A = this chain, B = another copy of it.
Amino acid sequence: MQSQLELRHLKTLLALAECGSVSQAAKRVFLTQSALSHQLKALEEAYGLALFERKTQPLRFTPAGERLLALARDVAARVMQAERDLARLREGEAGELRIAVECHTCFDWLMPAMDAFRQHWPAVELDIVSGFHADPVGLLLTRRADLAICSEAEPQDGVVYQPLFAYEMVLIMAKDHPLAAKPVWQAGDFADETLIHYPVPDVMLDLVRKVLKPAGVNPARRTSELTVAIIQLVASRRGVAAMPFWAVKPYLDRGYIASARIGDAGLQSELYAALRQDDAGLAYMHDFLHTVREQSFATLPGLSVLA
């Protein structure tokens, strides 16, 4: 035994199981691929057992690897629970967490996270600030909300931003759309299309703000409140829309619609949580953010970490 097992190793195994590759897992735990490779090699040498088959994508765990993975899940949950208990000893059980949301699709990942959080902090009053506000951070400072989900971290006095995750917005269109074979759309391709989107101001539509407006393209518009409705309209050739990849993947897999990248580099979206500086130290806040990330990475496809 040259290297003793540590929690760090178990966390690596968890990331590895979720990502299916060493390099992806490395990003998840904020280390280099090399670091993880060394770490895993040391583990395998310490136990004298192969823990994975690397020659496959995603990589497969051996029975020994599975056993350690089971330990990791088990131990990680218990450590988290203990740390929550310590936080409660330190700061008490109660608190308030009113969440302001500006994006419609956010509810997809917000609900499961809130459910998990409610289990862990039953005495924290959890709420969603209703309506879609152009300035969720304003609600923070006027104390009508305690946490705001937003897509940019504009520096502001008394407010701190915590990165959640990043993802790609893809263009969706009908399967028989004339440009369905085009893998990448440029701003000009939108000129004669109808753009379908949620009924929110243009500044909240990344496609308009970052791509179309700079290029002076101004397609026809149509709005809808519901994600499924938008997808239905797109499939019915009423127009095209920009959606998070993770929101439309099920429909793509089933062949209901087609998708394309927006711009050569893709239209990247980021999500941050904004908090009042005074609240930044609260344990239940940290735990909520942790839960959001954990739940989201576990359930949404194609997410990437955000520094």
Which residues of chain A have a CB within 8 Å of any CB of chain B?
4-8, 47-49, 63-64, 67-68, 70-71, 74-75, 78-79, 82-83, 85-86, 89-90
Contacts and interface: CB of A to CB of B under 8 A. Distances in A.
Given A67-B82, A82-B70, A47 B6 contact: no
Contact of A75 (B4, B78, B86): B78
A49 B4 contact: no
Count the copies: 2
B8 A48 contact: no
A75 B68 contact: no
A89 B64 contact: yes
A80 to B, nearest CB: 10
A83 B49 contact: no
Nearest to A49: B90
A89 B63 CA distance: 8
A164 to B, nearest CB: 19
27 contacts: A4-B8, A5-B7, A5-B83, A6-B6, A6-B7, A6-B8, A7-B7, A47-B83, A47-B86, A48-B90, A49-B86, A49-B90, A63-B89, A64-B89, A64-B90, A67-B82, A67-B85, A67-B89, A68-B82, A70-B82, A71-B78, A71-B79, A71-B82, A74-B78, A75-B75, A75-B78, A75-B79
Nearest to A68: B82
A82 B78 CA distance: 15
Given A4-B7, A7-B7, A47-B83, 12 more contacts: A5-B79, A5-B83, A6-B8, A48-B90, A49-B90, A67-B82, A67-B86, A68-B82, A71-B78, A71-B82, A74-B78, A75-B79
A84 B4 CA distance: 14
A64 B4 CA distance: 26
A4 B8 CA distance: 9
